[in-house]
Each structure stands twice: as C-alpha cells, then as structure tokens.
Chains A and B, each alone.
Chain A
Amino acid sequence: MTRYIARRVLQMIPLMLGISVVLFLIIQAAPGGPEGMMLQSGLTIDPSVVEAYRHRLGVDQPIYVQYFKWLSAALSGDLGFSFQTSRPVATTILERMPATLELMSLSFVFAALVAIPMGIYSALHQYSSFDLLGTTASFLGIAMPVFWFGLILQLVFSVKLGWLPVSGTQTVGATSFWDQVRHLILPTIVLSLHSIAGWSRYMRSSMLGVIRSDYIRTARAKGLRERAVVFRHAVKNALIPVVTIMALDLAGLFSGAVITETIFAWPGIGRLFVQSMYARDYPVLMGVLMMGAFMVVFFNLIADLLYAWLDPRISYR
C-alpha cells in the first residue's frame, strides 16, 4: 500500500513537469505580450520604455531561459510576480483560494446530498414517475450551459422575486452570517448542477446493477429487512464506482467555478483567472493553470486510491 502510493506520487513528478512545459509554451505563444496594454492605451510611448519594461519583467530573454528561471523559482514555492500588481503570484492565489474552496466544497457536498439519494430512489423505483422525472431533469441538467442556468436563476430569484442577492459575497455593511448564506445559495446551486445531473445517473445505474446481483438475493432470502438489504448491502457496494467518479469530478468543478464566479462576481480563483487573462498577466495565468492541473492529477490519484481501498477485490501493486 505504502509502496503503491509512493510510486504513484513519484509518477506525478514527470507528469507535472510535462504539463508545466506545455503550459509555458502556450502562454508564451500569446501575441501582444504584457506591454500590449501599455501600447493599447493610444499614447505614443518611446520604444526604449517598452524595452525597459519587457526587460524588467524578463520577457525579453529566450523562452527556455525564462522557463528554467520560472521552474527553479516555482520549485521553491515562488511563482513569480503579477505583471499587473507586482505582488507575488503565490500570495495572490492563496488570497483568492478560500472563496473558491468555499464555493467548491459547498457545491460538492450539496450535489452529493441531492444526487445520491435521488439515484438510490430512482433505482429502487425504476420507471416510476419519480424516476422518469429525475431522468428528464438529469438530461436537461447535462445539456444546459452553466452560465445560462445562472442567468435564469438570477432573473427569477433575484430580479423578479427579490428573494436572493444577484451577486457578490455579502451586502455592503452587513456582516451577519445569514447574509453570507443568502449570497452563497445561487452560486452553489449553479456550480453543482452538472454534478447532480451526472452523479444521480451514475448512482442510479450502479444501484440497478447491484440490486440484481446474487448477494442481494441472498440477503433477501435469509430474511433481512428491506432497509438492511438496501442500505447495508446494496448502497454500500453501489457507491464504490460513484465515489471515484465524484473524486475525479472535483477537479472538473474548478472549470465550472471559472464561469460561476464570473456570473456571480465571486472573488475567487476563477475570477482572478478571467481578469488576468484580459490583462495578459502571464505569471498569474501560469500559476492558476498549474494549480488547476495539480488538482486534476491529485484527485486522479485520490480516486484510484479510493477505488482500491473501497473495493477489496482490487489489490495494490
């Protein structure tokens, strides 16, 4: 077990290096460069000023030099400085992190609490009207663009009904807990939409597979109460593949957060990313993308470990 984890962690190193090379090349390929904003201002700027600016940021050096500089600094936790604010990228990201983590973890829990019972009930009452309704809702949820869902919720609950705030994390001046909760409701629902739709489908089909298996028939045959059969025998086994998919999707929530934070003016990583993109702030873009990639790789590992841990038939090698 320990050896398996150690090997998997070691395998992450070349993968992350590969990712950093690809990302660095892509980001450097950007036309315009950080001085683009300066030049766009319409003022006549002395080329020597532009050159000095580029030199100060280090973007006048050959790309491999820039990469190795970035890499050696990154290995010691220094992701460079933001072109816009001149503040360390790592600090900027860490500042924005809590807001994103709050939103992501709440959405994750909310999605799990809705999707899993929904999948179980649908499977136990296959083709019932609840099942059909759930299936339809899931297909709609998967086909719906996240941002449009967000706009419609804003339109209905904030603009028309006035029940919930349109955006932001809290009302200016208000510090109550309830105020913050009200601001969280819509973004959480929007971000969890795809997860609820996907996971409830997985849970349903996984559960359907399990309740037809021999050991469930055995459990019933020996006279266990239906509740024990369902929860202790069926749900436990049906959850195994679903839990791994949930771990994999956790990284996908990050992509969703970019859109959700943009709609609701949520001051997290996603919004930082979009703002940095407009400003061509390479170090911040690079930092956020690397962090996102690390999350994907990390949760892939977690998913594999969970799978092996939950399913005794799989052994570590």
Chain B
Amino acid sequence: MSAMSVPRGNALPHQVQVRSQARIIWENYKRHKLAVAASAVFALMALACLAAPVIAPYRFDAIDLSAIRQAPSLKHPMGTDDLGRDLLTRVLYGGQISILIGIFSAVLGASVGALVGALAGFYGGRLDNVLMRFTDIAYSIPTLPLLIVLSSFSGSTVPTIVLIIGLLSWMPTARVVRGSVLSTKEKEFVEAARMVGASNRVIIWRHILPNVAGPIIVGATLGVGNAIIVESSLSFLGLGVHPPTPTWGNMLMDSQATMAQKPWLTIFPGMAILLIVLAVNFIGDGLHDALDPTLRRR
C-alpha cells in the first residue's frame, strides 16, 4: 500500500505509525463488512462477465433448435430461450453491456455534476445563478419520461444510452458539490493558497476538489446501480440496446410474453440486476462511511 512509502518511525519520535490518506480510508472501509463482501460480489460478477468469451459455455448467439425452451439443467444451468440459446451465456454477455453502461454513465454524470457544482460554487454571482437555475429546470423534469423520449429519438446504441443516462443524472451531484465548495472555499488553506499566488484553476483542482471528493465518489457509485436499473427499464420498454446484443433489460423484455411457461427466462436476468445493484449500493454505503471524516474512528 502507499503507506509503505513513508519509512515508518524514521524521523518521528515514539514510533508514531504514519498512515496515508488512502490507508486510513481503506481501514475504515474494511470495518464495513457488508461493503467488503459486496465489493467481492461485484468484482466476481464483473470479472465473470468480462471473461464471458472464455468461460461462457456457448456462443451468445449460438442457436440450437434441438434444445429450445429447456428448463435449467446441468447442460444449461439457467435453461435456454426460444431459439435454444444458452441463458447463462447470455446473462454473462448481457452483463458486459449492462455493467459498462452503468459505469460509464455514472462517471459521466458525476463529472458533469462536479464541474457544474464546482464552477457555480467557486465563482458564485451570475454564473452560479445561471447554472443553478438550469439545474433547477433539469431537476424538475421527470427523469424517466424524458429518458424515454430521448432514447426513442436517438436510435439506442450503447454510446447514446450512456450519453443520455449520464446527461440526465448530474443534478444531485452538482447541488451537493456546489454546497461543499461554498463552505470549503472559505477555509484558511484556500486563503493560504491564494496568498502564495495560486491561480483559480490550481485552487479548484488541487485544494477544493480533493476536499469535496467524498460526495462525488459516493454519488458516482450509487449512480452505477441507478444507471443499470434505468438501462434495464428502457430496454424493457423496447428503447434500450437492441437485440441480438443481449443486455439484462432486453432479455427481460423478451421473456415477458412467455413468462408463464418459462419463468427462468425472467428470473435469472432479474436476479443478476438485483445482485449487482445491491452490491453497488452497499459499496456506496461503505465508501460514504469511509470517506466522511466526521464519521471516522481514528
């Protein structure tokens, strides 16, 4: 760990243990047992999906008409669909797209939110006013209906879905970051930096943003789960990524008509969504506790 870069007790009296910021956060995070377990679950699921081409038992579009609509068995652990495609394989491949969309849209949303919030909070005045009124507007439009309209217009490829979800999820982050920036910029260390001649850019990037990183990171983490759910909802309405590329959402949409005869087609992709979103939310919870200095036990 990075804590090792500081020679322990070198020039310090009484063998004081020096812990880097990252080490402190990690030690706090480790206390949140559920978050640690959730990290393992998330890592495992993400790795399995990424490794799908290697570990999946079949090709995701391999049609086997001699094995259509089979219930889960040893040969097909999650059963097969209408075209005899192996469901486990499709869940793994679908996960690639779903997780990808989740992570990228959350990062995009958090970045835009952090930028808007930092600019508004730091410069204040008219810029603040304009940006925050725009945030109010964006906040007041019901998100899901707007997402539906935008994705029905845009043709639903993976990048456009990421763009749409990301650009409609920055508002909470912007408000939180603006608030933190407003209080941080009055702190003495910012004044000190200004006194030694630091430019606004340096002050924002080096002194203010690191201090408001906590809420940004937590927001982005929870955003991953949210984006996965939103993507699946859009796909369910037929507006997400189009087949044959599998995503958990469009697999569920396909399953709806024949749910009564083949419940496994509905159950497994849904469980995958539930599990990964649950894991992401616990990770966010753990990060929230670990990153908030006021909650820290030293």
- Distance, CA A23 to CA B150, complexed state (A): 11
Q: 1/0 per position for B270-281, CB-CB distance to A under 8 A? A: 100110011001
B interface footprint on A275-305 (CB within 8 Å = 1, 0 otherwise) = 0011000000100110011011100100000
Counting CB contacts under 8 A, is B133 at the interface? Answer: yes
Instruction: Give Cα distance in the complex from A256 to B230, angstroms.
Output: 11
In chain A, positions 157-200 with a C-beta closer than 8 Å to chain B are 159
Q: Is A19 touching B140 in the complex (CB atoms < 8 A)?
A: yes
Q: How far is the CA of A278 from the CA of B229 in the complex (A)?
A: 22
Q: Is the beta-carbon distance between B149 and A148 smaller than 8 angstroms?
A: no
CB <8 Å contact, B141 and A292: yes
Interface contact B263-A273, CB-CB below 8 Å:
no
Q: Is A66 positioned at the interface, with any CB of B under 8 Å from its CB? A: no
B152 surroundings in chain A (CB, below 8 A): 30, 277-278
- CA of A286 to CA of B236 in the docked complex: distance in angstroms? 23
Known: A19-B137, A148-B273, A151-B252. A289 touches B233 (CB 8 A): no
Nearest-CB residue, chain B, relative to A286: B149
Cα distance, A155 to B145, chains bound together (Å): 26
Within the assembled complex, what's the spacing in Å between the Cα atoms of A217 and B293?
29
- Residues of B close to A154: CB separation below 8 A: 259
B266 contacts across to A, CB distance below 8 A: 148, 151-152, 155
Min distance, Cβ B32 to any Cβ of chain A, angstroms: 13
Taking CB atoms, residues of chain A closer than 8 Å to B229 are 143, 145
Q: Which range contains the number of A residues in contact with the other chain?
A: 35 or more
Whether B278 and A139, one on each chain, are in contact in the complex, defined by CB atoms closer than 8 angstroms, is: yes
- Partner pick for A144 among B133, B148, B149, B274, CB 8 A cutoff: B274
**Chain A, residue nearest B273 (CB):** A145
Q: How far is the CA of A274 from the CA of B238 in the complex (A)?
A: 11
Contacts of B259 in A (CB 8 A): 151, 154-155, 159
Chain B 111-146: CB-based contact to A (< 8 A → 1; otherwise 0)? 000000000000000000000011011111111111
Chain A residue nearest to B280 (CB atoms) is A143
> 1/0 contact trace for B19-59 toward A, CB 8 Å?
00000000000000000000000000000000000000000
Tell me if A111 is interfacial: C-beta within 8 Å of chain B: no
Cα-based distance from A254 to B252 in the complex (angstroms):
23
Q: Is A259 in the interface zone, CB < 8 Å from B?
A: yes
Q: Is the CB of A277 within 8 A of B260?
A: no
Partner of A146, one of B140, B145, B149, B233: B233
Most interface-central of A23, A32, A143, A259 (chain B CB within 10 A): A143
- Report the minimum CB–CB distance from B90 to chain A (whole Å): 16
Q: Does A10 contact B (CB under 8 A)?
A: no
Give A69 to B46 CA distance when docked, in angstroms: 51
Of the candidates A142, A148, A151, A288, the one whose C-beta lies within 8 Å of that of B145 is A288
Q: Which of A18, A19, A31, A151 lies in contact with B270, CB distance below 8 A?
A: A151
B138 CB to closest chain A CB, in angstroms?
Answer: 8
Q: Contacts A145-B233, A159-B260 known; A292 to B282 CB distance under 8 Å?
A: no
**A155 and B149 form a contact (CB under 8 A):** no
Residues in A neighbouring B143, C-beta threshold 8 A: 255
> A247: shortest Cβ distance to chain B, in Å?
15
CB-CB contacts below 8 Å: B226-252 with A: 229, 232-233, 236-237, 252
Q: A274's contact among B237, B252, B263, by CB below 8 Å, is which?
A: B237
Supposing A151-B266, A152-B270 touch, asked if A255 and B142 sit within 8 A by C-beta, the answer is yes
Contact between chains at B267 and A152 (CB < 8 Å): yes
Q: How large is the interface on B (under 10, 10 to 19, 20 to 34, 35 or more residues)?
A: 35 or more
Contact of B136 with A15 in the complex, beta carbons under 8 Å: yes
Known: A145-B270, A152-B266, A289-B146. A22 touches B141 (CB 8 A): yes
CA distance A288 to B148 in the complex (A): 12
- The answer to whether B140 and A15 have CB atoms under 8 Å apart is yes
Scan A18-45; emit 1 where CB is below 8 A from any B CB, else 0.
Answer: 1100110011011110000000000000
Known contacts A145-B229, A255-B144, A155 near B136 by CB under 8 Å: no
Q: Name the residue on B nearest A156 (C-beta).
A: B263
Asked whether A70 is an interface residue with its Cβ less than 8 Å from the other chain, the reply is no
Tell whether, in the assembled complex, residue B153 and residue A31 are in contact, meaning their CB atoms are under 8 Å apart: yes
- Beyond A151-B252, A152-B270, A255-B143, whether A18 also contacts B133 by CB under 8 A is yes
Q: How far is the CA of A273 from the CA of B239 in the complex (A)?
A: 14
Asked if B145 contacts A143 (CB within 8 A), the reply is no
Chain A residues lying within 8 Å of B282, measured Cβ to Cβ, are: 139
A293–B145 Cα distance when bound, in Å, is 10
Bound-state CA distance A155–B265 (Å) is 12
Q: Which of A31, A145, A151 has the most CB of B within 10 A?
A: A145
Known: A18-B137, A152-B270. 18 other contacts (CB 8 A): A14-B133, A27-B149, A140-B274, A140-B278, A143-B277, A148-B274, A155-B259, A155-B266, A159-B259, A255-B142, A255-B143, A258-B144, A259-B237, A274-B237, A277-B149, A277-B152, A293-B142, A296-B139
Give 25 A-B contacts (CB < 8 Å), ordered by A residue.
A15-B133, A19-B140, A19-B141, A26-B149, A30-B149, A139-B281, A143-B277, A144-B274, A145-B232, A145-B274, A147-B232, A147-B236, A148-B232, A148-B252, A151-B256, A151-B259, A151-B266, A155-B266, A159-B259, A254-B142, A258-B145, A258-B148, A259-B144, A262-B237, A293-B142
What 3 pairs across the A-B complex have the smallest Cβ distances? Answer: A255-B144, A292-B142, A143-B277
